[in-house]
Structure 1
Amino acid sequence: MLTVGVDVGGTSVRAGVVNADGAVLDTARAATPSGEEALEEAIGAAVAEVASRHKVSAVGLAVAGFVAPDRRTVRFAPHLAWRQAPVADRIAARVGMPVVLEHDANAAALAEHRFGAARGAGIAVLVAIGTGIGGALLIDGKVFRGAHGVAPELGHLRLVPDGRPCPCGKNGCWERYCSGTALTTTAVELLARHPGVSTLMAREALGDSRAVTGRRVAAAARDGDPLAKRAMADLARWLGEGLALVADVYDPEVVVIGGGVSESAPLFLDDARERYAAVVTGAGHRPLARIRTAQLGDDAGIVGVATLARELAPTRTARNGRR
């Protein structure tokens, strides 16, 4: 049975046809519109495009936002138009198939547990490092959601009291020090303090700090730029600090590092592992979690939510009397 997974992000909507082995057979992509109606039209069109080429039976949406425990409603999505919106029912009406929702980090974690880096782990944590940090916790392969469906918000753990301000309203959140955005902030701060150290990064900036991006910092670090390497070392330090905190709370078997920043893992992951091992409670006297990079890349959310749709949608169809 083929199903469609749709990754609904702040910049793009990507639909993929997924089989029972977790393989993505076909995709369609569109830019993410700003309004609710336009966004739902874009999702419907992307699903219709791949459904015209394959016989599919259900749809899952991976959403960067708070999803209600019944996986029918999007309560809040900071980069999308939905607020307390019955998204699953609206999209189902458009596409004529059962639809389920899932938080995008949860969907990616499910995919990595079923097909990737966390396969078989009893307790697994996914840390998705991109613009910010998304997190997911799996216990015996099941998503832990908390009492109200919004756990775990790992990116907003406060690591630095009175630290960098965060859009969430707090200061010193983990993602302010360990993310693509944080990497940019750190590089700009270092450029201001040490203007003569970095030839490559100074040339990137050209007097305009907006020219500095996380991807450019990583590229400069690969080319040996000393300031960019220092920025990557700072990210590694804070990744290790945050992972130690996560391990103190959850004691996972495996931590999977995903998201766009994970593509640069060779630049920081070994140092992050060392920092984690040094500062975790009971360092030197306890087993450590395996820290691995995600195996499914950008497809993880699509694969996870399509798999969820395969498992849940037939049940919902039967309950609704349409099977």
Structure 2
Amino acid sequence: LLGERLGAVPVALGHDVRAGGLAEGRIGAGQGADRFLFVPLGTGIAGAIGIDGRVESGAHGFAGEIGHVVVRPGGLPCPCGQRGCLERFASASAVSQAWAEACGDPAADAADCAKAVESGDARALAVWQDAVDALADGLVTALTLLDPRVLIIGGGLAEAGETLFTPLRDAVRRRVTFQKLPEIVPAALGDTAGCLGAGLLAWDLLDTEPTGTIPTTATPPEVTT
């Protein structure tokens, strides 16, 4: 509809996570990698499968939905209709809920849990480790299927830095057998990844290459009507 309104101007439309993955793969944490997997840990968990500078969307537009891999059979019900999905245990919202219940503060969130982990709180450590273990189980399934060279973790939970990445790398390392362990790195572009990815989709429509450095904190132009 927007393309019709704009006439000759091509319009790019992309899934938010896959657009973010495209940006991370081309100009962010996965730059230069021929195969990568981008997994943002936010309200839910999704994923973007990167192959040679593009992101695979799948036959029906659902490729990369790692958040709905069942890691705890018979576990918590998920809105998708299954029980035990990864995002019910390892998303930022899942950690927030688990920590709020554990500490008795309904306003507590995942960031509060990470701070409590850093201070050595035993309840927080238990909540955090449960999430890390579930995440590692899901990621090893993805590694087995996709064999990425780089695994990029983003979203709100990744803002905990090494409080997340140190135990996560250890947990994944313990689980791999024949699989090749990828480099596990934090996302580089933050909340701007989706916007930058949408820009890259538009550049692809024009069949040109972006020139110069794309700013990660660009201010949108003022729009008048």
TM-score range, shorter chain: 0.7 to 0.9
Partner of 1:240: 136
1:290 aligns with 2:183: yes
Are the structure 2 counterparts of residues 238 and 265 from structure 1 closer, same or farther at C-alpha, using a change threshold of 3 Å? farther
Q: Which residue of 1 aligns with 2:147?
A: 251
Query: Where does 1:58-207 land on structure 2 (aligned, <5 Å)?
Result: 89-90=1-2, 93=5, 97-189=9-101, 191=102, 201-202=103-104, 205=105
Query: Do the aligned partners of residues 314 and 272 (structure 1) sit closer, same or farther apart at CA in structure 2, a change above 3 Å counting?
Result: closer
> What secondary structure, in the 3-state scheme, does the structure 1 residue paired with 2:90 have?
coil
Structure 2 contact 35–51 (Cα < 8 Å) conserved: yes
Counterpart of 2:193 in structure 1 is: 300
Q: In structure 1, list runs of 5 or more residues that go unmatched.
A: 1-88, 192-200, 316-323
Query: Unaligned regions of 5+ residues in structure 2, if any?
Result: 209-225
Say if 1:187 and 1:99 are closer, same or farther in 2 by CA, change over 3 A. Answer: same
Q: Kindly indicate whether the alpha-carbon contact (under 8 Å) linking 1:112 and 1:294 is maintained by their aligned counterparts in 2.
A: yes
Give the Å deviation of 1:94.
Answer: 7.0
Q: Secondary structure at the match of 2:48?
A: strand
Higher CA-based Rg: 1
How many Å separate the matches in 2 of 1:240 and 1:122?
23
1:227 aligns with 2:123: yes
Aligned residues: 208
> Does 2:164 match 1:271?
no
Deviation string, structure 1 residues 22-53 (Cα, Å, up to 9, x no partner): xxxxxxxxxxxxxxxxxxxxxxxxxxxxxxxx
More strand by share: 1
TM-score (norm 1): 0.60
For 2:204, which of 300, 311, 319 is the aligned residue? Answer: 311
Percent identity, aligned pairs only? 39
Distance across 1 between alignment mates of 2:87 and 2:7: 36
SS in 2 for 1:131: coil
What is the SS of the residue equivalent to 1:184?
Answer: helix
Q: Deviations over 1:65-94 (max 9, x none)?
A: xxxxxxxxxxxxxxxxxxxxxxxx237627
Shift of 1:224: 3.6
Larger relative contact order (C-alpha < 8 A, sep ≥ 6)? Answer: 2
**TM-score, normalising length: structure 2:** 0.84
CA distance in 2, matches of 1:227, 1:91: 53
Backbone CA RMSD of aligned residues: 2.1
1:260 aligned partner, one-letter code: G
Letter in 2 for 1:267: T
